[in-house]
Amino acid sequence: MSAVTARVRVEPIVDPDSIVARRVRELRVAPDQYRYVGDTTFNLGDTLRDPMSEAMAVIADDAVVGFYRLDFAPNAVVGRSLGMPSVGLRAFAIDHRQQGRGFGQAAMRACCDDLRERHPEREVLVLTVNCINAPAISAYLKSGFKDTGELFHGGSAGPQHVMLQFLHPHPESRP
């Protein structure tokens, strides 16, 4: 199964005992990615306890292949407001057995489409990515994120690039 042939969608996880939540707990990243993403079981539980966050599953056809957290607090990701309605993307993970098949990019498209539909008031999706995590930086750039040139120094794994994806046509991007 690849993202080219699979229907990739995202869905909120609200029930910690659902089949989807159980499948998310089974997701694993490669050992060298763990320092950037953390433990998916912990991230799922932490997200479900936070009223300002949404736990999201990435589903390809009927298989759970990934997870991410949406944070709606204005300063959740970079420690300050961006001056526009934003949502933070954290703990993004595609299971190591499913990586390299295009699910990450398909998940980012589905994530942005989902935000436009369910949270149309949000203007920008923001994330941070570790400066030495070249594969992730490349993947986010290919998915349409823009590197702001700003570094966030609040992460436990070292400095991180701040990246944005505008969810609606933005005045800066108009000709």
Cβ distance 105 to 99 under 8 Å? Answer: no
Q: Can you give the pTM of this predicted structure?
A: 0.89
Provide block-wise average pLDDT over 10 residues at a time, the chain (175 residues): 79 97 94 83 96 97 96 84 91 91 92 97 93 87 90 71 88 48
Query: What pLDDT, on a 0 to 100 scale, did the predictor assign at position 33?
Result: 82
Asked if residue 116 belongs to a domain, the reply is: yes
Asked if residue 68 belongs to a domain, the reply is: yes
Angle of helix 103-118 relative to helix 134-142, nearest 10 degrees, comes to: 50
Asked if residue 140 belongs to a domain, the reply is: yes
Asked if residue 155 belongs to a domain, the reply is: yes
Domain membership of residue 35 as a residue range:
8-173
Asked if residue 27 belongs to a domain, the reply is: yes
The mean predicted confidence, pLDDT, of the chain is 89
> What tokens appear for 25 in the block?
């707990």
First and final CA of the chain: distance in angstroms?
39
Asked if residue 105 belongs to a domain, the reply is: yes
Query: What pLDDT, on a 0 to 100 scale, did the predictor assign at position 78?
Result: 81
CATH (domain of 17): 3.40.630.30
Cβ distance 24 to 30 under 8 Å? Answer: no
Asked if residue 3 belongs to a domain, the reply is: no
Domain count, the chain: 1
Per DSSP, helices labelled H in 81-175 are 103-118, 134-142
Asked if residue 127 belongs to a domain, the reply is: yes
**Structure confidence by residue, pLDDT tens digits, 88-135:** 999 999 999 998 888 999 999 999 999 999 999 999 999 999 888 888
